[in-house]
Amino acid sequence: MVKILAAPPAQSQLRPIPGRPGLPGIGHVLEYIRDPLAMMRRQWDSYGEISWFSVAGRRWVAVLGPDACQEVLQNKDRVFVNSDGWSALIGPFFHGGLMLLDSDEHLRHRRIMQQAFTRSRLEKTVDALNPAIGHALDAWEPTDDFLAYTALKTLTLDLATEIFMGGAEESTDREIEAVKKAFVDCVQAATSMVRYPLPGTRWKRGLDGRRVLEKFFRQYLPARRSRETDDLFSVLCHIESEAGQRFSDDEVIDHMIFLLMAAHDTSTITISTMMQYLGQHPQWQDRCRAESLALGTTTPSYADLDQLGSLDLVMKECLRLVSPVPVMARRAVRDTEIRGHFVPAGTYAAVAPHFTHHMSEYWPEPQRFDPERFAEHRREDKVHRYAWEPFGGGVHKCLGMHFAGLEIKAIVHHLLLRFDWHVDPGYVAPLDFTSLPFPSDGQPVDLRQRSADSARQAV
Ligand code: HEM
C-alpha cells in the first residue's frame, strides 16, 4: 500500500514522497541486506528517484539516480547534515570522525586533515607500504580455494597498524592484538540490531572496544606529539591548516579511530573484488601483470603506481560493480526539497551511489565487467558528473581517495608479481550488506605461486 511521507505545505508546488512501510517492526531491513540493488530497483520502478522506506521503525528517503544524489551531496543550502544521519547507522563508535562533523566545524577539521594527504606525504606512505606488504604476503600459502577476502582483511588490518600507527613500536604484540579486536568490535557493533549495551551483545562489545581504542591512543599520544614520524598518528599530532590551526589530543584520538574504519573495509572489499574479476578474466590479469612486470620493481613509488593504467581501469570498474559505501546517510535539519519533493525537517536520507552504478540508463550492460568503459576513448563515467561516485561528492567527498588508490594498487601489484589465480567464471560473490559489503564465503580463489624465474623478471 502506497503512503506519503508527509503532506507538502498548502500552496506549495512540491510533491509528496511516496513509499511503503515494509514488514512490521523491521521494515525493509532484510530486503536491503539480501539484495540492496533489487530493493532499490523496486523503489525506483514503483516511485522514481525519491521515495521512502523504513528501517527498524525509522523512515528513510531513498535518493536514487545521479541527479538526486548530486542535489543532496552538493547540499547547497546546508540543509542536510552528516552527524545525525551517519550516527543513526554507525552509532556512537565513530563520533568526532571527519565524516560525522558538519558546517564550520567540519571545514576547520578538513582543512587541517588535508595536510595529512598531500602528495609528498603520500609518497612516503607508498615507500612504507611496500616492505609491509611484502612481509605480510610472505605468510600467504597458495592453495585451491584460498580464502582471499579473509586473508586480505588480515593484511589490510596489519598494514593499518603499521602505516597508521607506525607499528606503535613501544607497544606489545598483545596490546596490538587487543587494539585490532577492539576495532573489529566497534565496526561490528555499528550495524547491530540490538542497540542497547546488554551484556554479551555486539553493542556492548563495541562500546568496550571504543574505550580500549581511546585508552590506547591516549597512552601513546605524548610520544607522537614529542617527535614527528611518518605514521598517520604522528602526522595528525603535528599538522596544521594554512591558518595555523591544529588538532587537540581528543580530536586526534577521534580521527584516528574513524580513519581506521574509513580506510579498512573499503579498501579490503575493493581488492577482493579486483581479485575476483581478475581471476575470472585471465586476459585482464595478464594485461595488468605485464604492466607490473614492465615497471621492473617490487618497491614501486607513487609515480610508478601512476603508470599502471590497466590496473587503474580495473580498480575503477570494481568500485562501480561493488561500491564499498553503497549508501551515504544524511538528515534534513529544516523543511526542504529534493528534486521537487517535499522533505520535512528530521527526515533521514539514504544517498545511493551503488544503485547509480548499476543503472542501465547510464551504464551499458551494467552487470558486465568491462574496465575499458573507463578508457579515454569511451569514458562512460563522463555521461553524468555523478554517474561514478564511489567516493561520494560535495564537501564530504572522500579525503583518503588517493591514499586508497595507492594502497590498493600497491597491494595488487605485489599480488600480480607473486601469484596468479583463477576464479570460476560462473562464480557470483555472496555479498553480505549488513554493513559495508563483503563476500560471506571469504571469497575462494585458486591461488598459485608464480615461479621464481617469473618473479625475478620484476627486479
Ligand atoms: C576504496 C576505498 C574507499 C572508498 C570507496 C571510500 C568512500 C568514501 C565515501 C563515499 C565517503 C563520503 C561519505 C559521505 O559523504 O557521507 C568517504 C569519506 C571519507 N573517507 Fe573514504 N573511502 C575509501 C578509503 C578511504 C581511506 C583509505 C581513507 C583514509 C586513509 C578515507 C578517509 C575518508 C575520510 C576522512 C572521509 C570523510 C571526509 C569528510 O567528511 O570530509 N577513505 N569515503
Contact between 333 and 8 (Cβ < 8 Å): no
Name the CA dihedral angle for 227, 231, 232, 235, rounded to a multiple of 10 degrees: 30
pLDDT of residue 189: 86
Q: What spacing in Å lies between the alpha carbon of 397 and ligand 1's midpoint? A: 7
pLDDT of residue 25: 83
Pocket of ligand 1, beta carbon within 6 A: 82, 98-99, 110, 259, 262-263, 266-267, 270, 324-325, 328, 390-392, 396, 398-400, 403-404
Q: What is the pTM of this model?
A: 0.96
DSSP 8-state code for residue 17: P
Q: What spacing in Å lies between the alpha carbon of 400 and ligand 1's midpoint? A: 6
CA–CA gap between residue 296 and residue 274 (Å, rounded): 22
Per-residue pLDDT of the chain (459 residues), as tens digits, is 789 999 999 999 999 999 998 898 888 988 998 899 999 999 999 999 999 999 888 999 999 999 999 999 999 999 999 999 999 888 789 999 999 999 999 999 999 999 999 999 999 999 999 999 999 999 999 999 999 999 999 999 989 888 888 755 567 778 888 988 998 899 888 877 778 888 989 899 999 999 999 999 999 999 999 988 889 999 999 999 999 999 999 999 999 999 999 999 999 999 999 999 999 999 999 999 999 999 999 999 999 999 999 999 999 999 999 999 999 999 999 999 999 999 999 999 999 999 999 999 999 999 999 999 999 999 999 999 999 999 999 999 999 999 999 999 999 999 999 999 999 999 999 999 988 899 999 999 999 999 865 555 555
User: Which DSSP helix (H) or strand (E) runs through 84?
Assistant: helix 83-90
Q: Which atom of ligand 1 is nearest to the CA of 232?
A: 30
For a mutational test of ligand 1's pocket, the pick from 159, 272, 398, 411, i.e. the residue with the most ligand atoms closer than 8 A to its C-beta, is: 398
pLDDT of residue 168: 56
Contact between 274 and 412 (Cβ < 8 Å): yes
* Single-letter amino acid code for the residue at 74: Q
Q: What are the CA-CA distances from residue 60 to residues 146, 148, 350, 355 (Å)?
A: 39, 35, 7, 16
Closest CA to ligand 1's atom 21: 398
pLDDT of residue 15: 96
Q: Which atom of ligand 1 is nearest to the CA of 395?
A: 41
Contact between 152 and 272 (Cβ < 8 Å): yes
Q: What spacing in Å lies between the alpha carbon of 395 and ligand 1's midpoint? A: 11
Residue in 159, 68, 24, 100 with CA at minimum distance from that of residue 330: 100
For a mutational test of ligand 1's pocket, the pick from 356, 401, 403, i.e. the residue with the most ligand atoms closer than 8 A to its C-beta, is: 401
Q: What spacing in Å lies between the alpha carbon of 263 and ligand 1's midpoint? A: 7
Strand-by-strand arrangement of the 444-449 sheet: 146-147, 444-449, 419-422
CA–CA gap between residue 459 and residue 454 (Å, rounded): 10
346: which 3 cell numbers?
Answer: 528530521
CA–CA gap between residue 160 and residue 183 (Å, rounded): 11
CA–CA gap between residue 223 and residue 220 (Å, rounded): 6
Taking each helix axis from N to C end, the angle separating 148-165 and 173-190, rounded to the nearest 10 degrees, works out to: 120
User: Cβ atoms within 10 A of the Cβ of 85, count?
Assistant: 24
Q: Which atom of ligand 1 is nearest to the CA of 255?
A: 35
Q: Is 60 helix (H, G, I), strand (E, B) or coil?
A: strand
Helix, strand, coil percentages in the chain from 3-state DSSP, rounded to 5: 55, 10, 35
DSSP 8-state code for residue 409: H
